[in-house]
């Protein structure tokens, strides 16, 4: 018997038992849809994390101060000390000291209330240098960024984050308007393009001043800094830039071998690796749980095929009496099981695609369905059908013609 004839008979058998076949296909469909959506959610989460971390800047290293200790012996959290200075930033900007560091941007930070007309908003006020935008890979959506002249002249100008601008000016253009900070009037010269959120803070809720102006008006230190952003010359030199920055600060701060450093340096890659590891583990866990439904679907296929063998015993005996070999009988029932598996797989992928289109609107989380994952899911559905059909097909092939024809 040719494969085409075998497939035709298998599809006809599936069609004649619509309800039973439909329920079997439903089990596989749910399993495939669950697995594809789980993997898609995991991949979407990883992509979202990478994008959010990349928004912090290109090839970024962040140097933060260590913890402080009060006179009573109470230790503050990491970043509470004032161990980083503008002199440290200048040293790291020296290519002779750190040849793999392309740019340096020290910042000071303070929480302040901003007032524009009758609107007020509390946000993070950052004393920045002109290099900050390039190091953090940020651009202005309107207006301009801070210049060296703004820093030198201690200009009372401010660049707002997108969310801050919306809160203060409610849809109108902020550029050229006035904002009061700590009793002083500032002119808005630009609005940053939206960048989203990092791990705990919004990158769009901030106000940036020339650091010299910030020290005059906000009262931040003119010598110490809250953190130093470093941009490596390339992604491949990120590790080298990290080592150079660590060595330079160790020397400047007199930190010897075995001493605890009074600063810490974090990189994008470490954040990406940590976040990816968590999402990958959750994806595997949820995928395993969803895979249980595939197992249930496979058992359903086996059950249907066993019932089919039992109901069609006389048909099998007649076929064997007419010359059908055990291989032909086995192939026929395997084709039926494979058809059920593929049908469930295709419907499952359709439900997965529909879910990938609708879930982001509900969850606010992207769902990424890749081609290889879809092909893998279809292959799994086919494999489930074949594996579940092996035993029933073998049982049918082993039936003796005389016994099969004699059975009612």
Residue 142 predicted with pLDDT over 90:
yes
Give the contacts of 162 (CB within 8 A, at least 6 positions apart). 141, 191, 192, 193, 194, 195, 204
Rounded to 10 deg, the angle between the 371-398 and 326-363 helix axes is 150
pLDDT for 362 beyond 90: no
Q: With residue 282 as reference, give the H or E element that holds it.
A: helix 268-311
Predicted local confidence at residue 123, as pLDDT: 94
Distance, in Å, from the CA atom of 129 to the CA atom of 230, rounded to the nearest integer, reads 13
How does strand 119-128 pair with strand 60-65? Answer: unpaired
Most confidently predicted of 49-58, 282-291, 347-356: 347-356
pLDDT of res. 104: 95
Instruction: Extract the tokens encoding 367.
Output: 């769902």
pTM: 0.60
Mind listing the pLDDT tens digit for each residue in 258-285?
A: 678 888 988 766 666 666 677 777 777 7
Give the pLDDT confidence score for residue 111 in this predicted structure. Answer: 93
**Mean pLDDT of all residues in 59-69:** 76
pLDDT tens digits for 18-49? 777 787 788 888 888 887 888 788 778 777 77
Q: What is the DSSP string of 309-332?
A: HHHTHHHHHHHHHTT--HHHHHHH
Show me where the domains of the chain are located.
3-52+273-406, 84-261
Q: Which residue reads 């990349």 in tokens?
A: 54
pLDDT at 67 over 90: no
Angle between helix 326-363 and 18-54 (nearest 10): 40
Rounded to whole angstroms, the Cα distance separating 394 from 120 reads 78
């Amino acid at each position: 018997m040719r494969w085409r004839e075998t497939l035709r008979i298998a599809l006809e058998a599936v069609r004649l038992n619509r309800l039973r076949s439909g329920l079997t296909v439903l089990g596989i469909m749910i399993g495939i849809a669950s697995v594809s959506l789980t993997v898609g959610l995991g991949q979407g989460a990883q992509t979202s994390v990478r994008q959010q971390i990349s928004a912090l800047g290109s090839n970024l290293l962040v140097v933060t101060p260590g913890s402080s200790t009060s006179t009573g012996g109470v230790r503050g959290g990491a970043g509470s000390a004032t161990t980083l200075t503008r002199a440290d930033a200048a040293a790291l900007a020296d290519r002779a000291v750190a040849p793999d560091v392309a740019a340096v941007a020290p910042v000071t930070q303070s929480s302040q209330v901003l007032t524009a007309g009758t609107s007020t908003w509390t946000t993070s006020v950052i004393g920045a240098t002109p290099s900050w935008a390039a190091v953090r890979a940020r651009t202005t959506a309107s207006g301009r960024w801070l210049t060296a002249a703004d820093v030198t002249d201690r200009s009372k100008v401010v660049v707002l984050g997108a969310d801050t601008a919306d809160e203060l000016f409610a849809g109108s253009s902020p550029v050229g308007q006035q904002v009061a900070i700590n009793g002083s009037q500032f002119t808005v010269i630009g609005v940053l393009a939206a960048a989203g959120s990092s791990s705990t803070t919004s990158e769009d809720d901030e106000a940036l001043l020339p650091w010299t102006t910030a020290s005059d008006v906000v009262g931040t230190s003119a010598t110490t800094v809250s953190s130093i952003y470093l941009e490596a010359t390339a992604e491949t030199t990120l590790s080298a830039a990290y080592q150079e920055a660590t060595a330079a600060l160790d020397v400047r701060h007199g930190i010897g071998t075995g001493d605890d450093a009074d600063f810490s340096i974090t990189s994008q890659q470490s954040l990406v690796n940590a976040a990816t590891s968590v999402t990958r583990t959750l994806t595997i866990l949820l995928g395993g749980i969803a895979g249980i439904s595939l197992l249930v679907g496979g058992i359903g296929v086996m059950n249907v095929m066993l019932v089919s063998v039992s109901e069609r015993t006389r048909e099998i005996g007649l076929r064997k009496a007419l010359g059908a070999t055990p291989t032909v009988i086995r192939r026929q029932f395997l084709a039926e099981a494979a058809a059920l598996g593929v049908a469930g797989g295709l419907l499952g992928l359709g439900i997965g695609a529909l879910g990938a289109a609708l879930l982001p609107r509900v969850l606010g989380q992207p769902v990424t369905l890749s081609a290889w994952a879809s092909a893998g899911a279809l292959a799994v559905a086919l494999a489930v059908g074949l594996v579940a059909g092996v035993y029933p097909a073998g049982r049918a092939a082993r039936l003796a013609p005389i016994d099969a024809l004699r059975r009612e």
